A and B are shown apart, each in its own frame.
Chain A
Amino acid sequence: MSRIILTVKDLEIALDPSGVEIDHEVNFELVEGEVLGLVGESASGKTTAATSLLNFQRRGAAISGGSITIDDRDLLTLGATQLRQLRGGVISYVPQDPGSALNPALRIGLQLREILEVHGFGSSHAEREARIVEMMDEVVLPSTKEFLRRYPHQLSGGQQQRVALAMAFACRPKIIVLDEPTTGLDVTTQAHVLDTIRDLTRAHKAAAVYVTHDLAVVAELADRIAVMYAGRLVEIGPSNELFDGASHPYTRRLLHAIPVLTGRRTLEGIPGFAPRPGRRPPGCSFAPRCAYAVEQCSAAMPPEVVVSEMHRVRCWRHEEVRAQAPVLAKEDSGKPESSGKDGLVTVRGLTAWYGSKEILHDIDITLRPHECLALVGESGSGKTTLARCLAGLHPFKIQGDIEFRDKPLPRLARSRPRAVRGAIQYVFQNPYSSLNPRKTIAQILSQPLEMFFEFNTFEYSSNREEREKRLQKVLELVSLDETLLGRYPDQLSGGERQRVAIARALAADPTVLVCDEITSWLDVSVQASIVELLVRLQREIGLCMLFVTHNLALIRSIAYDVAVMSEGRIVEYGPTDDVLANPQAEYTKKLLADTPTIESRALRA
C-alpha cells in the first residue's frame, strides 16, 4: 500500500452569506500516484470539492468546516504566502476551458517560464529552459522556439489543453486537480489528452483528481472513483469494484446512461435532476429520483457504510442494489425497419465553400422517411456544415444537388417555400445560445406557430385556443411541464432548454429533423434522456432524422445508418452495426479506438 498524501476529512463548503451548504461530510484520501475520478451531474458539488483541494473557493462560497491535509499540513490553516507556494508547486490545477485559462496576451513559452520562476524551479535560466523543453516533450507538443513563441489563440483546443497540462506538471507537483479537462474536446483529442495525463501521472508518481460528469471518460484512467450527488460522496471505491458492483442506485443510473459500442442498447436517462444547494430534500438527497427508495430514505441521511476495504457507500439498501446484476445499459430489442423507400432528402455531389475555402467535397447522402442517419466525425470534419446546408443555414456558396421530395432545395431557408421550410427543422448544438434569453418559453415556441400556421401571439382571436392546444401538444411530445411556458430560458436546466429547442422544431410539424450535436453540451445522464426522447419521437411521429455527433458510442442507440466524415469527405457509409463491428476506413478505426467506453475497461480487465 502506497503512502497517503492527501486527506480530506469532513469537508464542508457553504454559500458565504447564507450558509446554505454546497458540500457536506466529504471524506476521502489520495494515495501517491493514483488517479481518483470524481464523478457527478451538474450541481453535485464536484468542482467545488475539487477546487477546495487547493483551498480555493469561487466568490460567494467558503469552506466552513473540516480539514484538508497534505503531508501533515492542514491546507485550511495556511497563510496566503504559504498557500501560493503550495499551489502550482505541490498541488496544481488544470481548468475546464484552456481557452480562458491561458493568458491570451502572453506567448506560451513565457507563461510556462513564469510558473517555473514563481516557484523557484531550477537554479539557473538554462535549467528552466531545459525543463520547458522537457515538459513540452512530455505533453507531446513541439518544443521548438517557434512553437513556444506562439500565442494561445494560435493553438488548437487540444494543444491549449496540453499547454495547460504542461503548466500544471511543470514544477512536478505531488497532486494535480483536473477539472473536466476534456469536456470541450472531441473524442480524438480527448483520447490524446487522456493518454498524456495517464503517462504523466505514471511517470511522476503524481496523484490526480479527475473531475467529470462522464463515467466513461475515467473508466480507463482512474484507479478509484468517487461518485458525488447533492454535495455528498455517495459512493467511493476502486474502479473495478464500482463498475462491477455499483452499490448506490445513483451510480447504477449513471452507468445506465452511458452509451456503449457493443450491442444496440437503450439509453436511460435519470428522471428529474440533481437538487441544487438549498433545495436538497431531507434524508437521502437521491430518494426522490430513486427506484429503490423506501420510507427510511427520506427520513434520514444514510451513514457511510464500508462495503470492502476501499469501497464505501451511502445507501440504506446498498446490499439489495449490489445484488442486482445488470450494470450496463439494457439491450434494445427493436429491429431496424428496412423501409427501402426512396430518399426523402437526397444529397448528390455536394461541395460547399466557407469563404473561398472548399470545406465539403462531393458529398452523397440519402435520408429516408422514418429513418435516422448518424453523421460522425471530429470537429472540423465538416459535419455541421453539411447539416446546415440541409437546414438552409449555410451562408456561402454550395454546388451540387440537395433534393427534398425530388424537388431541388434552394440554398437558403429564406428562399425556400414556406411548407418546405417548416418541413426541415434544425436543432442547434448549444441550448445556451439557441434560445432568446429575453423571451419566455411560450413566446419562443409560438414563433414557428406564427410563421407556419398564422397563429398570432398578440391577438385574442379565436385561434388563440387552438394555438395553446398546439403549444401543449409540443410540450407533451418533449415531456415538459406546461408551467414552464411562462419562464425564461435561464430559469431552465440545460436538458430542459434542449427539450424546448426540440419542441420549437417540432412545433413547425417537420418531416425531417436535423440534430447538430445536440447532446454535446449536456451531462451524460441528460444526454441519455434526450436520446431516449429522440428515439421515442422517431417511433411515434415517424420523423426522419439526421443526427450529427462526434460520439460513436452514442449512434448505436439511435441510428441504424451512419456516415463517417473526415476532412469534408464521407469516408464510410453504411448500417451502424456493420460499421461499428467491422470498420473499413482507417479513420473509422481510429475514431473507434479513441472513443471512451466502459466496456473497453471491462475488456481490459
Chain B
Amino acid sequence: MSDNLIPVNGAPVSDLDLGPDAGLGEPLEPRLGHDLGSAPARTKRRRREWVQLLIDAVHYRRTQIGLVLFCFILVVVLFGPYVAPHSPYQFVVRPFAHPSSTALLGGDSLGRDVLSRVLYGGRSVLGLAILATVIGLGLGVSLGLLAGYARPAIDDVVMRLLDVLLAFPQIVFVLLMVSVLGPRLWLIVLTVGLSHAPRVARVTRGATLEIKERDFIKAAESLGVSRIKIAFAEILPNISSPLLVEFGLRLTYSVGLIAGLSFLGFGMQPPTADWGLMINENALGISIQPYSVFIPVALIAILTIGVNLATDGLSRAMIGIERDTGAS
C-alpha cells in the first residue's frame, strides 16, 4: 500500500525486511525514522531487529507475566544461596519434619532443611539448561545454515542425518546416551544440546531458504564473497528473530529435560541440592511432608511456564512485525 508508515503503539515500525509487499512498482515507504530534510539530522542509532522484537513483545500481557515469573526464578537462583538459613547438606531436623521455626518449609527425607535446599537447588537446573540450549542452538544454527545455503546434495545428507536423530524422542535419546556413558554433567549438557540441534537446524534451514533467494545474497555472490562469510554475515543477522524465539522454546525443553533426568537419577547425584533430584528423594514422604516435593515442582513449573509465555509473546511480536512490514 502506498503509505504504510503507521507506528504500532507509537513505536516506530520495526525493520524486518521488506518483501515485495503489495507495492509492485511503487516504492515502499521508508520508515518514520527517515529524515526528509535536505540537511538530515543524523537519525539516532536505529535499534537492531531483535532488540525491537523484545520491545514489541513486552507490549503483550503474556510476555509480561512470563518475564515476571522468569525473573522470580532468576532471583531465587541467583540470590537464594546467600539468604539460605542453613547449609543444604546439614541435618537440622527429623526426616520429613513438619515446618517449624528451624526449618520454615520442614525437613526432607534425611532431615535437611527444605527451604535451604530449594534455594540452592535451582543453580544446576537453570545453569545446565541455559548451557545446553546455547550448545544446541550453536550446533543447530550452524547445521541449518549449512543445509540451507550449501549445495542441495549437502542439504539432503545433513537433513536426512538429522532426521535420524529427530526420530528419537529427546528424553529417550538423552537417556540412551547417559545410561551408556554414565551420568556425567558435561555429557548431560552435551546430549541435551545435541538433542536440540536437529530441531533448531530445521527452523534455521527454513528461514535460510527464504533469505538466500534475496538479491543481496546474489549480489554478495557476484562479488565473490566466500560462502561461509555469506552464511554468517549476510544470512544469520536476517534470521535472528526466529532464532530468538527458538532459543526461548529450547530453553523450556532443556529445563524439563534436565530436571527430568535428575528426577530419574541420571542427572545430578546425591547429596547435591537439585530441584529434580529433590522430587525423587522426597517422593516417599509426599503425604507427610508435601512441601519437600511440591515446592521444587512448583518452581520448575514456574520456570518453564514463564519462559514459555515470554517466548510465545516473542513469536507473536515477530508475526506482528512481519505483518506490519509486509514481509512474509
Contacts and interface: CB of A to CB of B under 8 A. Distances in A.
Interface of A: 15-18, 22, 42-43, 45-48, 58-61, 95-97, 100, 180, 183-184, 213, 272-273, 275-279, 288, 391-393, 413-414, 416, 418, 421, 425-426, 428-430, 432-439, 447-448, 451-452, 481, 483, 486-488, 490-495, 501, 504, 508, 520-523, 526
B40 A483 contact: yes
Interface stretch (B83-91, B180-188, B220-228, B265-273): B220-228
Given A276-B36, A488-B15, A418 B218 contact: no
A264 B256 CA distance: 73
15 contacts: A43-B2, A96-B1, A97-B23, A275-B36, A414-B221, A429-B215, A432-B18, A435-B216, A439-B237, A452-B223, A490-B31, A493-B34, A495-B27, A501-B219, A526-B27
Contacts of B33: 491
Contacts of A492: 30, 34
B160 interface: no
Q: Which residue of B46, B218, B219 has the most chain A CB atoms within 10 A of its CB atom?
A: B219
Contact of B2 (A42, A288, A414, A491): A42
Nearest to A430: B215
Nearest to A47: B2
A451 B223 contact: yes
A491 B43 contact: yes
B27 A183 contact: no
Given A433-B19, A434-B215, A508-B223, 14 more contacts: A47-B1, A47-B3, A96-B1, A276-B3, A279-B36, A393-B221, A393-B222, A413-B224, A414-B221, A451-B223, A491-B43, A493-B34, A495-B27, A504-B219
Given A43-B3, A60-B6, A183-B25, A438 B223 contact: no
B3 A48 contact: yes
* 4 closest residue pairs by CB, A with B: A494-B27, A60-B6, A183-B25, A184-B24
A522 B223 CA distance: 25
Nearest to A417: B224
A552 B61 CA distance: 56
A451 B6 CA distance: 39
B7 A60 contact: yes
A61 B6 contact: yes
B27 A436 contact: no
Given A491-B43, A494-B28, A48 B36 contact: no
A391 B30 contact: no
A273 B224 contact: no
Q: Which of A183, A486, A490 has the most CB of B within 10 A?
A: A490
Contacts of A526: 27
B26 A438 contact: no
Interface string B30-72: 1111101110101101100100000000000000000000000
Given A47-B3, A275-B36, A438-B237, A493 B27 contact: yes
B172 to A, nearest CB: 38
Nearest to A182: B25
Contacts of A414: 221, 224
Contacts of B234: 436
A427 to B, nearest CB: 9
B238 interface: yes
B216 A42 contact: no
B314 to A, nearest CB: 18
Contacts of A61: 3, 6
B154 interface: no
B281 to A, nearest CB: 49
Size class of the contact patch on chain B:
35 or more
Contacts of B223: 413, 421, 447-448, 451-452, 508
Contacts of A439: 237
A58 B13 CA distance: 15
B222 A391 contact: yes
A413 B220 CA distance: 10
A452 to B, nearest CB: 8
A426 B222 CA distance: 8
Given A418-B224, A491-B46, A59 B6 contact: yes
B127 interface: no
B222 A421 contact: yes
A392 B224 CA distance: 10
A438 B234 CA distance: 8
Given A47-B1, A413-B224, A434-B219, A42 B20 contact: no
| Interface of chain B, main secondary structure | loop
B280 to A, nearest CB: 47
A501 B223 CA distance: 13
Contacts of B17: 433, 437, 490
Nearest to B323: A59
Contacts of A18: 7
Contacts of B6: 15-16, 58-61
A272 B39 CA distance: 12
Contact of B221 (A47, A413, A436): A413
B169 interface: no
A491 to B, nearest CB: 5
B214 interface: yes
B104 to A, nearest CB: 50
Of listed B4, B5, B32, residue having the most chain A CB within 10 A: B5
Nearest to A494: B27
B321 to A, nearest CB: 12
Given A276-B36, A504-B219, A42 B29 contact: yes
Contact of A96 (B22, B29, B237): B22
Contacts of A429: 215
Contacts of A523: 26-27
B9 to A, nearest CB: 9
B51 to A, nearest CB: 12
Contacts of A392: 222
A472 to B, nearest CB: 16
A427 B11 CA distance: 34
A491 B238 contact: no
Contacts of A426: 219, 222
A504 B222 CA distance: 12
A432 B18 CA distance: 7
A231 to B, nearest CB: 10
B25 A436 contact: no
B143 to A, nearest CB: 22
B236 to A, nearest CB: 9
Contacts of A437: 15-18, 238
B20 to A, nearest CB: 7
A83 B50 CA distance: 41
Interface in B220-264: 220-225, 234, 237-238
Given A61-B6, A438-B237, A492-B34, A183 B26 contact: yes
Contact of A17 (B10, B43, B49, B218): B10
Given A47-B1, A277-B3, A434-B215, A213 B15 contact: no
